Structure 1
Amino acid sequence: MLQRPRRRCEGTAMGAIVLDLRPGLGLGPFTLGNRLNTKEYPISVRFENFGHSRMPICEAFVQIEQQPNIYDVVHVKYLDEEPLKLDVVISFPDHGFHLRFDPWSQRLRLIEVFDVKRLQMRYATSLIGGPSTLATFVAVYALFGPTFPGIYDQDRGVYTLFYPGLSFAFPIPSQYVDCFHDREAELPLEFPDGTTPVTCRVSIYDSSTDSKVGVGSLMSKASAPPLPAGSLYMEEIHVKLGEELRFTVGGQHIPFGASPQDVWTELGRPCGIHQKQVDQMVIHSASDPRPRTTLSCDYFYNFFTRGLDILFDGQTHKIKKFVLHTNYPGHADFNSYIKCNFVIYGSVFGEPFQEGNIPKHCITPSTKWEQVKEILGDCGRAAIQTQGSTNNPFGSTFVYGYQNVAFEVMKNGYIATVTLFQSS
């Protein structure tokens, strides 16, 4: 598990912040999700408003960057070798809480306060937690009201009390374990010596499934809120190699050779437009004798919220390339794009393109490089992509080319980007 500090500077003291606690919804500026439809927001809006319908990891970083004096120490944790196996975690050690993102959808599924003494939470008009307000069982019960008996985990010695979208875990001293005979135990308002248990962990999660989420195996029961009907987030984009992209929610078709006007009509205003400065791969093209340093007049349309770039020829103003981004941690472009949920088809796969039917042999963001080679065959040696060694702490990636498609592959074997083009 890699742990990468985002920032270290002088900022707020430990435990000095107060965040609003919203059961089933979120904590402070970090939101699990609600039922708003992304179609209510223009696609040109980047991450600031895109997170109103749910919080992808990119939106969480926007919130962090907007308040650097509060979130001055931030750790990003993920499993480098298998980034889809475990959550991506953004942790705030000075404030005692972290955010857990589903590794595939990159959406916030669980917020855990793991050190309640470091974080003061506001519920309605009352405060709980922090260095001055102990989150005892009596205090929790008084603030949140009656609820059903909780669950006692004998192996961990932890009693968990549940409310909709919210749970509190209380460690039970070993001398009092006999008070809990069944898995569902009576409410431990006080121990025989007159003391009351103090919360060791608070979990905030989506309440729509009525799941009981807590420590240990119960933690896995938290899932990101359901996406609303018609949501563009993680929309499947079907790729027909050498021909076009098809967007499954809106039904748009964007073929090679389409004009900027066509793209605006189908996808709306791009999030950004920039000129391609240098064509660094032109030296590998035998048909193009221009020097490698030749400035390009080609230009990109960037659709950050779709994980997509579109490259136009500067002379003909026709689409010549598509670039699809997986947004995996450990890549230089991580946190620049929403993950593109592509499905790549092609006649070279041995199966025809069929709308609404994904063949067994297709390539998606979850496909590892070894699987790609099984589908497409060996393509020979890779080109090395450094992304600028001084600004890239993650090291080089490898670019492998086939007819109509090139894959940028990370050292762990996962695809970072897919570049689509028409072979001459």
Structure 2
Amino acid sequence: MGGLTLDLRPGAGLGAFNLGMPVCEALAYVEQHKSLFDVVHVKYNDEEPLQMDLVLSFPEHGFHLRFESRSQRLRLIEVYDVQRLHMRYATSSIGGPNTAATFVAVYALFGPTFPGTYNMKRCIYTLFYPGLSFAFPIPAQYTECCQHREAELPLEFPDGTTPVMSRVCIYDSAVGGGVGVGAPLKIALPPQLPPGSLYMEEVHAKLAEELWFTGGGQHLPFGASPQDVWAELGRPCGIHQKQVDPMVIHSASDPRPRTALCGDYFYNYFTRGIDILFDGQNHRIKKFVLHTNFPGHTDFNCYIKCNFFIHVPPTGDGEEIDKAAYTGGLQRCITADTKWSEVQGILGDGGRAAIQTQGSVSNPFGPTFVYGYRNIALEVMKNGHIATVTLFQSNV
């Protein structure tokens, strides 16, 4: 597909893709504009998803969106094939299949700037503007010229030709150094969140007791009512009944018939990465489900990542934890980024796992493994990362 034109906004974004936006917002926009973005590749490190960017790639339009893996926020936009994408800056266009994006054209459009840098190994000259960089390959016969004239702008080669742009990077202008080809790409970070933002708000949990939201200071204890939840968190994104409890067969003390429908119901807070389960008879909170939103799980992009901190007392028996220790790092803690091997070091051996297939043998991501402890159950992916955490009260 050709002919796509996106506004180039140095230090801010490209088209509707804004630096700092969560990956779920980007995917929602793509979903709403399928006619423009009918081919999208989601790229990530399957074994170590926190070690590399989460990338949305648009091969037909020649650009990547790079999301920082822990916060899942857009840190860098990379146009790697400028002939596939028309970019509009002010009233002028650059790139596309019919217009060569030459050094002279770029310099004329964006104006004077400081001399760029020359990467001798890659034979790439990079020109920098605030929140924006352009990469120009230098032909082999002229690399010697650039090596000895790094302080000058290679507007023209000795034969009268001019370098042609091969790549554009858009990043937060607060980055101290220039972001260019190779290792410098890694220094781009998402912009700071605006004041009052609840994205990646810390959610602290005391086993068998409550959740505490640091952004707004809300407390939600087990046994709270739906009215309490509405008052603290606002209207849920969704409400649905839990039709069947698939784990009830494992509970020897549960008197309900094994085929009975379950009257319990969920409040879904997708934008907080949390589900809250209410007992269908007394309408009180009985479980919290916290989601990590890792790629490679069937629930990916259904929830924003919950930035949780589950504090485990030294004895593991639910003893009192000082509220001041919530953020003081004094307690053993399980977070959304904690791996299963580390969890076992905190909670002990998880025993045999229940296999979770998400109800489909054709699930492309394969099964997950559920390990149960007193007051907590963890769903673990094949790569050892936590997919969900379910908190409950074992003595209720």
TM-score, structure 1 as length reference:
0.90
- SS of residue matched to 1:62: helix
- Asked if structure 2 preserves the Cα contact closer than 8 Å seen for 1:117 and 1:130, the reply is yes
Shift of 1:293: 3.0
Shift of 1:224: 0.3
| Counterpart Cα distance in 2 of 1:339 and 1:211 | 30
Give the corresponding residue for 1:26: 13
| Counterpart Cα distance in 2 of 1:21 and 1:210 | 21
- SS of residue matched to 2:335: coil
Give the corresponding residue for 1:369: 340
2:225 aligned with 1:259: yes
2:249 aligned with 1:283: yes
Letter in 1 for 2:390: T
2:356 aligned with 1:356: no
Give the corresponding residue for 1:58: 24
2:76 aligned with 1:110: yes
- Asked if structure 1 preserves the Cα contact closer than 8 Å seen for 2:352 and 2:371, the reply is yes
Shift of 1:289: 3.1
Letter in 2 for 1:29: A
Letter in 2 for 1:335: N
Give the corresponding residue for 2:156: 190
Moved more, 64-73 or 345-354: 345-354
2:343 aligned with 1:340: no
- SS of residue matched to 1:203: strand
- Asked if structure 1 preserves the Cα contact closer than 8 Å seen for 2:314 and 2:332, the reply is no
- Asked if structure 2 preserves the Cα contact closer than 8 Å seen for 1:110 and 1:222, the reply is yes
2:4 aligned with 1:17: yes
Give the corresponding residue for 2:351: 380
| Counterpart Cα distance in 2 of 1:181 and 1:96 | 30
| Counterpart Cα distance in 1 of 2:314 and 2:35 | 53
Give the corresponding residue for 2:378: 407
| Shift in CA distance, 362/349, structure 1 to aligned 2, threshold 3 Å | farther
Moved more, 284-293 or 308-317: 284-293
Matching of residues 81-100 of structure 1 within 5 Å: 81-100=47-66
Shift of 1:366: 1.1
| Counterpart Cα distance in 2 of 1:183 and 1:227 | 40
- Asked if structure 1 preserves the Cα contact closer than 8 Å seen for 2:208 and 2:393, the reply is yes
- SS of residue matched to 1:86: coil
| Counterpart Cα distance in 2 of 1:291 and 1:184 | 79
Identity level (%): 72
Letter in 2 for 1:64: V
Q: How many residues align?
A: 390
Counterpart pick for 2:131 among 165, 177, 189: 165
Give the corresponding residue for 1:268: 234
Matching of residues 145-294 of structure 1 within 5 Å: 145-181=111-147, 184-294=150-260
Letter in 2 for 1:209: V
Shift of 1:360: 6.0
Letter in 2 for 1:31: N
| Counterpart Cα distance in 1 of 2:192 and 2:63 | 24
| Counterpart Cα distance in 1 of 2:296 and 2:326 | 33
2:368 aligned with 1:397: yes
- SS of residue matched to 1:180: helix
| Counterpart Cα distance in 1 of 2:315 and 2:166 | 53
Letter in 2 for 1:17: L
For structure 1, list consecutive stretches of 5 or more residues without a partner in the other structure. 1-12, 33-53
For structure 2, list consecutive stretches of 5 or more residues without a partner in the other structure. none
| Counterpart Cα distance in 1 of 2:133 and 2:211 | 44
Give the corresponding residue for 1:416: 387
Letter in 2 for 1:107: R
Shift of 1:175: 1.2
TM-score, structure 2 as length reference:
0.96
| Counterpart Cα distance in 2 of 1:230 and 1:257 | 29
